[in-house]
Structure 1
Amino acid sequence: MISDVNTAPPTPAAPSAGRPGAGGSDVFKLLQPYDGLIGAGQSAQAQVLSLKQENTVFQLLLKLTLDNGRQTNVQVSSNQALPLGALLSVTQPSPGSLAISLQQALNNHAALTRLDTQQLPVGTLLQGKVLSSQLLPPTAGQSVIYRSLVTLINSALSASTLIIDSPRPLRIDSLLTAQVQGSQSLNVVSLSGRQDQLAIAQQLAAQQSRQGSLEGLLNALQKIAPDNTLPDELRGSIDKLLSALPTPQQLSNPGSLSNALLNSGAFLEAKLLGGQLHTLPADIKASVLRLIAQILPGAPANPNFNPGVAANSQAQALPTFVRNALGMLNQVSAKPQPGGFPLPARLVQHAEGEDSLENLLKLAAAAISRLQSHQLSSLEQTGRTADGNLLTTWQLEIPLRNAHDIVPMQVKFQREEPPNDDRQDAPESREIKDQLWRVELAFDLTPLGPLHVQAQLIRGNVSGQLWAQHADTAELIASQLDVLRQRLNDAGLSVTDLDCHQGTPPPNGPTKLEQRWVDETV
């Protein structure tokens, strides 16, 4: 999440109601009274060494330099936050208080109210610690403003204090990362989001080293001999899974396509959280997990897991087994690079007897890892773009039945939308913000060979690019582009660009999201 903050304008703050003293001065209370600390009619120079906020009161540690050169440290409480390093002229009106000049404090060079973009160019990441956060007195016609003091801990301005205004309070003692947008504008980046992205990337790399293509499992299930002595419950689950696979013709129907997307396994966890248990029998990921639970009791004994526990408690035992199954069954294959679209085809080595329970178990575990790789890739490619738009990604895989072949079709949807406008304007005065949709398809359909489709839609305008690896397939598709264009026009869409190329699309990689983050243990 990104929130806007601005450096504070260099103007004096309004006096707080109820403060003692007069004539433009502010009285600080000494936490321990000192009688005769500063002589009558004399003043001392004070420097702010530390600042601590407790609710709306601030505790400061001041280093006093008296007229005779003697130095001493005192602690005071105040309703006003002062930047670290601020130099003040202090008098002592009573044994329990010190008086300083507010104007001098606010205009002190130790507090920065603007940034030099020559020294810190736009795009520079600043990191700092929040010292204080105060709600400023409300002003008619303006939104709520919080003023904070932030000590910078990196860049050439390290140890400097920055005064910033923001629409929300900043958490005291928290560390933040902000990107310079201008001399008086910053974008503060959420640390938790950056940590989440790092964790997702690590999980994706580990998950892809275990995954295997879906057709490996489905083809093995198709080849099981009718006379194979499988348990009736397992045989019924296999037949149900294979019969539920859609055909290319069925996916031309919007309702069938919607069901195939929802049952691709990408939304299984969301269904479980939402209590949609009635939809689980058609879900591919749930079906494969059910197969693992039914295969596991009959698989060869292994000291690394308890078959009885796995059979009796699928939800509790299966996740651990799925994470470890491929390693203990000695799968060996080159490790693919994480992320990207489409995921590369990856076949799991066959054990002796393709229909053995041990081999089916290995293939099913690899298929689960494949589906999880798509889910993690979706999370990795979801976030804020460089211009602040929210990008949401759904990546999944749908196995199709094409005659006697199983053809996995990889699908990626992306929605890019501008940030929400929080202004309290009337609805009719708000600008309508358009969403940009992108769709990618990748599949290998006999006899056409590998195909890749990219399309995007905004305001009813659609553009698309198709790639075919076989030259004759590229020529065939190019000859039918006018038909496709007409069908899109008939559907109410305006086609701006439509081309077909031979080969593969240029590598784009996952969406580039800012990965720099602050270690909160500093």
Structure 2
Amino acid sequence: MTGEMNILPLPQPTPANTRAPAVSGELLKLLTPIEGLITAGQTAQAEVLSLKQADQAFQLLLKVTLDSGRQTTVQTTSTLPLAQGSSFVVSQPSAGNLAVTVQQAIASSVATLTRIDTAQLPVGTLLQGKVLTSQVLPQVPGQPTVFRSMVSLLNSALSGSTLSIDSPQPLRIGTLLSAQVQDSQTLKFVPLSSRQEQLAVTQQLLSQTSRQGSLDGLLNLLQDLPDTDQTAVDLRTAAARLLDGLPDVQQLSTAKGLALALANSGAFLESKLLAGQNPTLAPDMKADLLKLIAQLTPSLTPNTSLGAIIAANTLAQAMPSFVRNALGMLGQVSAKPSPTHFPLPERLLQSNQGEDDLEHLLRLAAAAVSRLQSHQLSSLEQTGVTADGRLISTWQLEIPMRNLHDIVPLQVKFQREDAPEKEQPKERREEREPKQQLWRVDLAFAMEPLGPLQVQAQLINGSLSSQLWAERPYTASLIENNLQGLRDRLLSAGLNVGDLDCHLGTPPQGPQTRLEQRWVDETA
């Protein structure tokens, strides 16, 4: 949704009265009547702590400060949206009502930001806010419908302030709004869906990352799952299904085997469900983890140290939650963190004191699901359009693979970069060449006796370049001595091979450390 919205002008100020405001005025109805809150003939200072729309009325939480200095909070309803943070004088004509003058109520409803200081927030600045209220204004014959909303700003130096705006389209209460500053009185919408998803993803990524744990910790424990009465048949079946779905090195060495492993990695479970596919018909890492959790939860008795908390909360934490919680978290939006580093670090969860085997296994399974979701959310966070119009699409995932008796987590990131669209002359549009794409692939794994390895490669127009990093000197030397053989195999596959280098250590972090091949304008 795009369009312009206007910041409402401040009403003309009224001369200040020397006497107390009149009792007759806008009534604020107390949700819980309070007798004698404000003594007859006296007034008190009220501040709006929160504002919430309920149908055509507005619920306000007020902090009331009496002349004696005593403070209390009361809940009221009003027909006018009084801005969060605004202050005014109230009196109490009856036990169930507070009164405020009409002029004060109207001024308070818009006296938040009446203009934007473009010296503080230059034209082009992106503002983000949460919609608090939305009303349709009485329609003027021959004029389009206008919707009035109050928006609490979530970023910039104006964070916490409230804007009262007019818009040609209704804004759903509780949703995120993004807009660019056009001038001191005008903002321009930025498409809501992408910005809303981005902030929701950022918040959930922080949450998931703090809960995630390495996959190999769980899988190694499942390989040694004891065959005892405590281990139910259904639980052993769920564990075996999960382990049987793991690919080995030989499978990942073929194009078909690799494609199958990627599809079953759990990164695409939600897409399968949306497409109507049955995840039980084929192995899927995430689906199989959730089935394992479902088998573990009833196995725990209410008397265990985790007790009913695990049974109630583990599945809720494990299931995809960023969509469910997105709107509820928008009010807590903070500055966007730096992009997630690749690969995700190893994180092993140790058994807590007094925790039995099944409790520990359940905690590891929930942490493994969170790790897969951390990869999914990282993919979403790194997908979008750059300032110069390039579309970046990212797929980040993790595949546990078998290497003899070991399980080696292989972290993979694919990134596709589409060149920005260029305006072509009419006579050349029919001859437009297919859009070119730049592909990047990152790999990270640790396999004995080679130790930790990372690979970065990029492919464009059939030309491949790659950098490899090994943390062990022996491995770095071994790879260096075999680079010519790798080049020959790539050439035989029909690729043009550019740089192939191996380094000791790990790739440096930062935006300028990638292979910097970019789109070139040949007409420049």
TM-score range, shorter chain: 0.5 to 0.7
| Secondary structure in structure 1 of the residue aligned to 2:211 | coil
| Secondary structure in structure 1 of the residue aligned to 2:296 | helix
Written as runs of structure 1 = structure 2, the 5 A alignment for 1:5-154 is: 124-125=124-125
Which deviates the most, 336-345 or 242-251?
Answer: 336-345
Written as runs of structure 1 = structure 2, the 5 A alignment for 1:96-495 is: 124-125=124-125, 177-178=179-180, 189-227=190-228, 229-277=230-278, 281-301=282-302, 304=308, 319-322=315-318, 339-351=340-352, 356-420=357-421, 428-495=430-497
Tell me, in whole angstroms, the C-alpha distance in 1 between the residues paired with 2:317 and 2:309: 7
Judge conservation of contact 1:224–1:355 (CA < 8 Å) in 2.
no
Judge conservation of contact 2:297–2:310 (CA < 8 Å) in 1.
no
Judge conservation of contact 1:451–1:467 (CA < 8 Å) in 2.
yes
Q: Could you tell me which amino acid in structure 2 is paired with residue 441 of structure 1?
A: L
TM-aligned CA deviation for residue 280 of structure 1: 5.1
Tell me, in whole angstroms, the C-alpha distance in 1 between the residues paired with 2:280 and 2:244: 16
Q: Could you tell me which amino acid in structure 1 is paired with residue 370 of structure 2?
A: S
| Secondary structure in structure 1 of the residue aligned to 2:216 | helix
Judge conservation of contact 1:466–1:499 (CA < 8 Å) in 2.
yes
TM-aligned CA deviation for residue 212 of structure 1: 0.2
TM-aligned CA deviation for residue 299 of structure 1: 1.1
TM-aligned CA deviation for residue 279 of structure 1: 5.7
TM-aligned CA deviation for residue 173 of structure 1: 8.5
Tell me, in whole angstroms, the C-alpha distance in 2 between the residues paired with 1:300 and 1:337: 42
Judge conservation of contact 2:455–2:466 (CA < 8 Å) in 1.
yes
Tell me, in whole angstroms, the C-alpha distance in 1 between the residues paired with 2:358 and 2:338: 30
| Secondary structure in structure 2 of the residue aligned to 1:282 | coil
Unaligned runs of 5+ in 2: 12-118, 129-152, 157-166, 172-176, 321-336, 515-524
Q: Deviations over 1:191-241 (max 9, x none)?
A: 442332222111111111110000010011112234564222221221222
Judge conservation of contact 1:268–1:280 (CA < 8 Å) in 2.
no
- Structure 1 partner of 2:134: none
Tell me, in whole angstroms, the C-alpha distance in 1 between the residues paired with 2:178 and 2:8: 19
Tell me, in whole angstroms, the C-alpha distance in 1 between the residues paired with 2:248 and 2:480: 24
4+ runs of 1 displaced by more than 6 Å?
Answer: 119-123, 173-176, 352-355, 421-424, 509-512
Tell me, in whole angstroms, the C-alpha distance in 2 between the residues paired with 1:396 and 1:284: 11
| Secondary structure in structure 2 of the residue aligned to 1:194 | helix
Query: CA, structure 1 residues 173+237, in 2 after alignment: closer, same or farther (shift >3 Å)?
Result: closer
Tell me, in whole angstroms, the C-alpha distance in 1 between the residues paired with 2:210 and 2:387: 30
Tell me, in whole angstroms, the C-alpha distance in 1 between the residues paired with 2:298 and 2:178: 51
Q: Could you tell me which amino acid in structure 2 is paired with residue 274 of structure 1?
A: A
Query: CA, structure 1 residues 303+246, in 2 after alignment: closer, same or farther (shift >3 Å)?
Result: closer
TM-aligned CA deviation for residue 256 of structure 1: 0.8
Tell me, in whole angstroms, the C-alpha distance in 1 between the residues paired with 2:354 and 2:403: 26
Tell me, in whole angstroms, the C-alpha distance in 2 between the residues paired with 1:496 and 1:480: 16
Query: CA, structure 1 residues 410+187, in 2 after alignment: closer, same or farther (shift >3 Å)?
Result: farther
Q: Percent identity?
A: 53
Q: Deviations over 1:401-420 (max 9, x none)?
A: 11111110000000111345
Query: CA, structure 1 residues 503+179, in 2 after alignment: closer, same or farther (shift >3 Å)?
Result: farther
Unaligned runs of 5+ in 1: 6-48, 52-60, 62-118, 129-152, 156-169, 181-185, 311-316, 325-335, 513-522
Query: CA, structure 1 residues 491+225, in 2 after alignment: closer, same or farther (shift >3 Å)?
Result: same
Q: Could you tell me which amino acid in structure 2 is paired with residue 263 of structure 1?
A: N
Judge conservation of contact 1:237–1:287 (CA < 8 Å) in 2.
yes
Query: Does residue 505 of structure 1 match 2:507?
Result: yes
Tell me, in whole angstroms, the C-alpha distance in 2 between the residues paired with 1:387 and 1:304: 52
Query: CA, structure 1 residues 179+434, in 2 after alignment: closer, same or farther (shift >3 Å)?
Result: farther
Judge conservation of contact 1:300–1:358 (CA < 8 Å) in 2.
no
- Structure 2 partner of 1:107: none
Judge conservation of contact 2:121–2:181 (CA < 8 Å) in 1.
no
| Secondary structure in structure 2 of the residue aligned to 1:408 | strand
Query: CA, structure 1 residues 172+422, in 2 after alignment: closer, same or farther (shift >3 Å)?
Result: farther
Judge conservation of contact 2:216–2:409 (CA < 8 Å) in 1.
yes
Query: CA, structure 1 residues 235+190, in 2 after alignment: closer, same or farther (shift >3 Å)?
Result: same
TM-score, length of structure 1 as denominator length: 0.57
Q: Could you tell me which amino acid in structure 1 is paired with residue 454 of structure 2?
A: H
Which deviates the most, 427-436 or 376-385?
Answer: 427-436
Tell me, in whole angstroms, the C-alpha distance in 2 between the residues paired with 1:509 and 1:300: 50
TM-score, length of structure 2 as denominator length: 0.57
Tell me, in whole angstroms, the C-alpha distance in 2 between the residues paired with 1:481 and 1:201: 39
Q: Deviations over 1:123-170 (max 9, x none)?
A: 953779xxxxxxxxxxxxxxxxxxxxxxxx9x9xxxxxxxxxxxxxx9
Q: Could you tell me which amino acid in structure 2 is paired with residue 245 of structure 1?
A: L
Tell me, in whole angstroms, the C-alpha distance in 1 between the residues paired with 2:361 and 2:497: 46
Query: CA, structure 1 residues 446+303, in 2 after alignment: closer, same or farther (shift >3 Å)?
Result: closer
